[in-house]
Amino acid sequence: MTAKKKHWWEIMPLVSALLLILSFPPWNREYLAWISLLPLFFYCREQVSYRKSLWGGFSTGLVFFLYLYAYMALSVNFVLPRYVGVLVVAASAFYSALFYGLFSLFLFFLLRNTGTTLSCLAAPAAWVLLEYLRSLGFLGHTGGFLGYSQSYNPLLQCIALYGYWGLPFLMVLFQAIFFFAWRSFREGNKKTAVKTAALPLLLFIAMLGSGVYFPSLFPVEKNDRVLRIALVQGNIPQENILDPSMTADNFLKYLELSRKADALYAPLDLIVWPETVFSLSVQQNYPAAEKEIAALAEESGASILYGAMYEDRSRGEVFNSILLHESTRGFGQEKQRTDKIRLVPFAEYFPLPGILNSIWEMDLSLGTYTAGAAPRTFKLGDFEFGGIVCFESYFPRPALSIPQKGGEHIFVLSNDAWFLDSSGLEQHARAAAVRALETGLGVTQVANTGYTISFDYTGREILKLPVLREGVALLESEMPRRRTLYCLWGDYFLFICFMLLVVAFLKLLFSRRC
């Protein structure tokens, strides 16, 4: 290889990173995600050292995630010195980039030791399992998952059949087919190139066609009546939320907007507020708040679903919760409640919060929330629904439990004021659309500064409020829903990917012994 050609291949990881960056908000050139890993395939093919392949993949991931996660620093800057925000972004990007490095390391060995057809299938299987592993554990996060680059289009219907995992499998399979066919063609054998692409291409077409077609056959159920639900977006800046002197004003703003919604849209069945509107600060500095919620429910005849910090004083635990004050219940009566299970690492949960909070002087404590034991659904007459809190909507499992428990709609309560007007807001909203496709339920996100947005069971956007503006919106719906294969079988597609990798490993082991 000439020096000039070698230099060209060295920049391939950066080309992959650039394509990935352009695929995600705010650029939204989502079609580029379908070719974003091709430069990395070519790079790994040219390397003679597995270390170089590992470094190439890691470099791709590091550049991509440093850009994508930059919005995280905005939230940290509200409570900690700016350098801590930089460290958080760098550490998060480094951790996520490791999985890109592992993928390119896998590619290095795959391209040299297995048959072409098996390689075409093993590469996307490895990608899917690495994304899954990245979502696990204390540091697990799904931001920047390849499939989250895609907004609403017919191809996304495959999520109802395969779960989210089928989408990145198809995206990487498409690139693997192109790469292996190109490699055979470059080696001078056109017939081999056709044979190389034929079987994987047929599988790709069959999977994509089935994923688009069969979900349209799933039976759709509806409620007997139209539900009228008001969504309230207060647009309270995060610095005001953190200021104890603004506590009463912040809470009263939600009461005011809710009465405005009632005046505009009555009769209402439900009024929905975002995450932690009823905070511990509200409970301490505005003791009448709970009575005001009860009065609002009585005046409007609508139940109130709201985010709250729920304190179990007998056990000394605080939960990030969703509460339902039913219009038929008076002040002081027990409320239906569900607690956030998937907590944000460090900010909401840390194994040794005392050590964490001793490092910096702050007006709030980090890592002191308790995770909920199990998700619960809410019942409002004959309407049953579920709620998840903020960060949880990035993960399949909390949402999946809701239709399995009989829920007919999902509400995501969030406070994205931490992220100002960054790309983090749109990234979060896209995750809600994926949850709608997976579960077959409508998903409505209500966020303090936006996006307050609702998706039907096909992932189609049906309403949205502008970000960084106060407002109210009316969701009128019979709550149409469908039973997806993902709801019935869960993460079965992960098992298929695992078996593909087992076959590839056995083939590699057998070929070495021979």
What phi, psi does 172 have (nearest 5°)? Answer: -75, -35
| pLDDT at 52 (0 to 100) | 92
pLDDT of 1 above 60: no
66 and 51 fall within a common domain: yes
User: By percentage, how much of the chain surpasses pLDDT 70?
Assistant: 91
| pLDDT at 65 (0 to 100) | 97
- How far apart, in whole angstroms, are the C-alpha atoms of residue 249 and residue 228? 27
Please give the distance of CA 93 from its chain centroid, rounded to a whole number. 17
Residue 473: its H or E element: strand 471-477
| pLDDT at 78 (0 to 100) | 82
212 and 227 fall within a common domain: no
| 217 or 46: which leads in pLDDT | 217
Q: How far is CA 347 from CA 76, 131, 163, 353, in A?
A: 9, 23, 29, 10
66 and 127 fall within a common domain: yes
What phi, psi does 497 have (nearest 5°)? Answer: -65, -40
User: Can you give the residue range of the structural domain that contains 468?
Assistant: 222-483
334 and 405 fall within a common domain: yes
Domain of 468: which CATH number? 3.60.110.10
28 and 116 fall within a common domain: yes
Reduced to 3 states (helix: H, G, I; strand: E, B; else coil), residue 175 is helix
pTM of the model: 0.91
pLDDT of 294 above 60: yes
- How far apart, in whole angstroms, are the C-alpha atoms of residue 390 and residue 92? 18
What phi, psi does 140 have (nearest 5°)? Answer: -60, 135
| 119 or 319: which leads in pLDDT | 319
- Residue 330 gets the label, from left (phi > 0), alpha (psi -120 to 50) or beta, of beta
Question: Average per-residue pLDDT in the chain?
Answer: 89
Residue-wise pLDDT for 412-432, tens only, equals 999 999 899 999 999 999 999
Residue-wise pLDDT for 148-172, tens only, equals 999 888 899 999 999 999 999 999 9
- For the chain, what is the domain count? 2
205 and 264 fall within a common domain: no
Give me 451's structure tokens. 């996006």
188 and 84 fall within a common domain: yes
| 265 or 391: which leads in pLDDT | 265
414 and 495 fall within a common domain: no
177 and 228 fall within a common domain: no
Residue-wise pLDDT for 192-228, tens only, equals 667 767 888 999 999 999 999 999 999 999 998 999 9
Under the banding of pLDDT at 50, 70 and 90, the label for residue 131 is very high
pLDDT of 330 above 80: no
Reduced to 3 states (helix: H, G, I; strand: E, B; else coil), residue 367 is coil
251 and 280 fall within a common domain: yes
- How far apart, in whole angstroms, are the C-alpha atoms of residue 1 and residue 48? 12
Compute the average pLDDT of residues 45-55. Answer: 88
274 and 336 fall within a common domain: yes
193 and 247 fall within a common domain: no
| pLDDT at 365 (0 to 100) | 63
